[in-house]
Amino acid sequence: KQEVTQIPAALSVPEGENLVLNCSFTDSAIYNLQWFRQDPGKGLTSLLLIQSSQREQTSGRLNASLDKSSGRSTLYIAASQPGDSATYLCAVHTGTASKLTFGTGTRLQVTL
């Protein structure tokens, strides 16, 4: 059974800092990995999707990497801003019908 772990569970950084969020998964037979953002009381917003054949994806200040063989992904956020404060979730797609297995998330707070 696929298990997804995110470390740390919570993180507080001052504005402007670069930071890395970690995601690990136990079964390397994945089709893709997604990073989501969740604001309090809201749904999930897809940030980046990395296919299993890719090593990284970039969108603005966000960069996600994937090392499928070691079961790891990182989300790098450059020059953090207070508006980046949210919970970040990673999820892996394994099996048919694009079923996702989620981690429990990292709650990020960016302070002024």
Partner 1 sequence: NAGVTQTPKFRVLKTGQSMTLLCAQDMNHEYMYWYRQDPGMGLRLIHYSVGEGTTAKGEVPDGYNVSRLKKQNFLLGLESAAPSQTSVYFCASRTEQVGGYSNQPQHFGDGTRLSIL
Q: Applying CB under 8 A, which residues contact partner 1?
A: 4, 31-32, 34, 36, 41-46, 49, 51-52, 89, 91, 93, 97-100, 102-105
Distance of closest approach, residue 71 Cβ to partner 1, in angstroms: 17
48 versus 77: smaller Cβ distance to partner 1? 48
Which residue, 80 or 101, has its beta carbon nearer to partner 1? 101
- Give the residue with the Cβ less far from partner 1, 23 or 80: 23
Contact at 8 Å (CB) between 86 and 2? no
**How far apart (Å, rounded) are the C-alpha atoms in residues 57 and 98?**
19
What is the closest distance, in whole angstroms, from the C-beta atom of residue 99 to partner 1 in the complex? 6
Nearest residue to 89 via CA among 101, 71, 77: 101
Cβ-proximal residues to 52 (8 Å cutoff; 6+ apart), any chain: 30, 31, 32, 33, 66, 68
CB of 109 vs partner 1, minimal distance in Å: 18
Distances from the Cα of 22 to the Cαs of 45, 48, 95, in angstroms? 18, 14, 23
Q: Cβ 111 to partner 1, closest distance in Å?
A: 24
